[in-house]
Amino acid sequence: MYICLCQPVTDGQIREAVCSGVACNVRQLQNHLGIAKQCKRCARAAKEVVNETLLSLERNHPPTHSIHAVAMQAHLEKIPTTQSAAGFSL
């Protein structure tokens, strides 16, 4: 599914960028994939995909001391404790 229409980018491309460690937030996706640079309507949806992917990584690969794990932990701390951006309780 396309997340950004101004710079055609799919949710799969965003997941791949997050899983490969290239990006773990929308600002890094802006630099890597060029999303959310024009109308910015995709920023919220992109953030949700990032959050979902980070949560999935967290569940499948518990944090270690890697740089990515530290970035993931910092990112997760910004998500409200009662409900994630994906819409389910943590």
* Residue ranges that bind ligand FES, judged by CB under 6 A: 4-6, 35-42
Q: Based on CB atoms, which residue is closest to ligand FES, 27 or 41?
A: 41
State the minimum distance, in angstroms, from the CB of residue 11 to ligand FES.
13
6 to each of 3, 10, 59, how far by Cα in Å? 9, 11, 32
46 to each of 22, 34, 38, 62, 68, how far by Cα in Å? 15, 12, 14, 23, 18
Q: Based on CB atoms, which residue is closest to ligand FES, 18 or 36?
A: 36
State the minimum distance, in angstroms, from the CB of residue 47 to ligand FES.
12
